[in-house]
Amino acid sequence: MFKLTVIGVGKLKESYWKEAEAEYLKRLKPYAKISIVEIPEESFKDQTEKERITLKEAEKIQKHLRPDAVIIALHERGNEYDSVTLSTFLENQSSQGMHLIFIIGGSLGLHESILHRARVQLALSQLTFPHQMVRVILLEQLYRAATISANKQYHY
């Protein structure tokens, strides 16, 4: 069973994101012990505040990081995995009893301190998505990875 935490900066505000999240959390139950941590987004006026804002968000994120966990930062310049490779990675880490923490940044991304702390930087795509959408895409991919590991028919 996978031990997972998803830390996301920002709330899921719209009901359709909440419903999609709930659906994938329900589907993941047989395969993973998973928790979601929402970090409040800092308000900002423009891109010039990026360092200050991402540092404040990083300080909040740091409080939820476990020293014994594998930290995976979702980042646009991270490594792209296909679904089978992600499944193999999760399976390998879980077989060693590792807890995996996925971190999704806010509108301005993640502070360098979080990126440096991460063992893995993962890109879901070279495209940019809203962080609410990224959370749902990540949960779907975690579910897909779990079904691949369990030899269930979902991924073709």
139: confidence class by pLDDT, cuts 50, 70, 90: very high
Number of domains comprising the chain: 1
Mean pLDDT of 38-49: 88
Question: 23 in a domain, yes or no?
Answer: yes
Question: 46 in a domain, yes or no?
Answer: no
Query: What is the CATH number for 109?
Result: 3.40.1280.10
Question: 14 in a domain, yes or no?
Answer: yes
Question: What pLDDT shows up at residue 155?
Answer: 62
100: confidence class by pLDDT, cuts 50, 70, 90: very high
Give the β-pairing of 32-39 and 2-9: parallel
Tokens 């941590």 -> residue: 37
Question: 93 in a domain, yes or no?
Answer: yes
Is the pLDDT score of 26 beyond 90? yes
Is the pLDDT score of 47 beyond 90? no
Question: 12 in a domain, yes or no?
Answer: yes
Residue 22 makes CB contacts below 8 A (sequence gap 6+) with: none
Cβ(35)–Cβ(2) below 8 Å: no
Question: 154 in a domain, yes or no?
Answer: no
Residue type, 89: F
Question: What pLDDT shows up at residue 45?
Answer: 83
Question: Which structural domain range is residue 73 located in?
Answer: 2-41+51-149
**Total Cβ atoms within 10 A of residue 147:** 19
Share of the chain above pLDDT 70, in %: 99
DSSP characters over the chain: -EEEEEEEES---SHHHHHHHHHHHHHHTTTEEEEEEEEPPPP-SSGGGHHHHHHHHHHHHHTT--TTEEEEEEEEEEE---HHHHHHHHHHHHHTT-EEEEEE-BTTB--HHHHHH-SEEE-S-SS---HHHHHHHHHHHHHHHHHHHTT-TT--
pLDDT tens, position by position, 141-152: 999 999 999 998
Question: What pLDDT shows up at residue 92?
Answer: 94
Report, in angstroms and rounded to the nearest whole number, the Rg of the chain calculated over CA atoms.
Answer: 15
126: confidence class by pLDDT, cuts 50, 70, 90: confident
153: confidence class by pLDDT, cuts 50, 70, 90: confident
